Amino acid sequence: MKEEFYTYTLPNGIRVIHRKVRSGAARCALIIGAGSRDELPTEHGIAHFAEHGLFKGTTHRKSYQVNCRLENLGGELNAFTTKEDTTVHATVLRNDFTKAVDLLSDVVFHSTFPDKELDKEREVIIDEINTYKDSPMDMIYDTFEDMLFEGSELGHNILGTKRDLMRHNSAALHRFVDRTYTTDQMVFASIGNISDSRIEQIANRYFADYKPTTRSHTRTAPGLYTAFDREQIKHTHQAHCIIGNRAYSINEDKRVPFLLLINILGGPTANSRLNVSVRERNGLSYNIEANYTAYNDCGMAVIYFSSEHCNSDHCRQIIADEIKKLQTVRLTTRQLAMAKRQYIAQMTISTEGNEGYMLGVGRSMLVHGEVDTLEEAYKKINAVTADQIMEVANEIFTNNSTLIYR
């Protein structure tokens, strides 16, 4: 593969990707293609619950031994769940790297999910759900996605509900993990000052003995939906609003110009069009952003803002005007060059955080079976034309849906 990365596939189908960098710390992760969209109708919330359960004991370690193994060495072990993936990752000093890999292997393949420990962890997640309910921003994102993907597993809240969690016991978690944690849907990703040959040895030692398994279920793409414009009374101090639509999947070529469009429109910079027009020029909202999430077979593009209730309609009109400009007015050569330069700079800076970069390339390996080097990514961005920006703006941001909390 590409010189920037070393890749290797174990006989059981687990893929390995490594990048050697000069650093005293080493990072590794096991990325598993199993998320909340892989839950059965009776399993809502179980993917996230299973992720928590990975830390509650294995056939080799008690719960406290799992949690203290790396922390006693000054390292850390963590995990997170998304709609499509579960990731367990660790950071340690380079000399402790094999200890981290050993622990990752143990928790993913040998967790026992003891009911006594799960009872305690269930309360932790219920507290997480209650905290989430106190955040209108978090709630409106999930509610909008549920409406956008109505009837699809993609719409479900990752956390589930208290009622859902009460149904899930050790046997249920084992069934979910046995069905979805398959070796053909796993990537072991690492980054650190470790040779490629050493990584291959370590991967074989800790992962090669597991029998090959294959995903038995097929993910179903969301069906057609009708655009909506809804208002919900939540008695919030401010109005919270999301405007958006379905977008390109992670496998579509138009994803690249659309990423650039989203950054121009509402990226994390002070000079994004929405920040300038809504916040700086008119002082209507302190918090406004545009986001794009790409899934395996579809995607979601949204614009979120919060404002005083009396200003929400004005904000929505300005947003509509900015979208219309991008749909009808071609970017100048200078504007497009500046947008590309800014986005490439953001990408480059983000790779300095080795953990985020490792997780990104690991997921790319899981989805695509390969990873673009930074130079290849830069070439794709620099190849985007002004006409492509207009094209994707018209394709995605036409007939938008809207949800507002008041």
The pLDDT tens digits of the residues spanning 67-88 come to 898 888 899 999 999 999 999 9
Cβ burial of 174 (10 Å; 0-12, 13-18, 19+) is middle
Q: Is the same domain home to 303 and 392? A: yes
Contact 367, 255 (CB under 8 A): no
Q: Which CATH number belongs to the domain containing residue 118 in this structure?
A: 3.30.830.10
CA distance 285 to 395: 27
Number of domains, the chain? 2
Q: Is the same domain home to 110 and 249? A: no
Closest alpha carbon to 103 in 58, 53, 50: 58
Contact 287, 235 (CB under 8 A): no
- Over residues 7-30, the mean pLDDT reads 96
Q: Find where tokens 């639509």 sit.
A: 245
- At residue 351, does pLDDT exceed 90? no
Q: Is the same domain home to 156 and 286? A: no
Angle at Cα 74 formed by Cα 69 and Cα 75, nearest 5°?
65
For residue 221, being part of any structural domain is answered with no
Choosing from 207, 242, 273, the residue where a domain stops is: 207
Q: What is the pLDDT of residues 229-288, one digit of tens each?
A: 999 999 999 999 999 999 999 999 999 999 999 999 999 999 999 999 999 999 999 999
**Which residues pair with residue 288 across a beta bridge?**
305
Q: Is the same domain home to 200 and 295? A: no
Contact 277, 318 (CB under 8 A): yes
- At residue 2, does pLDDT exceed 70? no
Q: Is the same domain home to 203 and 274? A: no
For residue 73, being part of any structural domain is answered with yes
Give the pLDDT band of residue 1 (cuts 50, 70, 90). very low
Give the pLDDT band of residue 353 (cuts 50, 70, 90). confident
Token pair for residue 321? 């005007």
For residue 122, being part of any structural domain is answered with yes
Token pair for residue 104? 């990752």
What residues make up the domain containing 71? 6-207
- pTM: predicted TM-score of the whole model, two decimal places: 0.93
Contact 309, 238 (CB under 8 A): yes
**Which residues pair with residue 307 across a beta bridge?**
239
- At residue 3, does pLDDT exceed 90? no
Q: What is the pLDDT of residues 198-223, one digit of tens each?
A: 999 999 999 999 999 999 999 999 99
For residue 1, being part of any structural domain is answered with no
Collect all residues with Cβ–Cβ distance below 8 Å to 70 and sequence separation of at least 6: 76, 77, 90, 92, 96, 99, 100, 103
For residue 342, being part of any structural domain is answered with yes
Q: Is the same domain home to 290 and 240? A: yes
Q: Is the same domain home to 233 and 168? A: no
Q: Is the same domain home to 199 and 251? A: no
For residue 147, being part of any structural domain is answered with yes
Q: Can you tell me whether residue 259 is helix, strand or coil?
A: helix
Q: Is the same domain home to 199 and 266? A: no
For residue 39, being part of any structural domain is answered with yes
**Which residues pair with residue 19 across a beta bridge?**
191
Closest alpha carbon to 8 in 396, 372, 369: 369
- At residue 354, does pLDDT exceed 60? yes
Q: What is the pLDDT of residues 367-387, one digit of tens each?
A: 998 898 889 999 999 999 999
For residue 213, being part of any structural domain is answered with no
**Which residues pair with residue 8 across a beta bridge?**
16
Q: Is the same domain home to 198 and 234? A: no
Q: Is the same domain home to 199 and 254? A: no
pLDDT of residue 4: 84
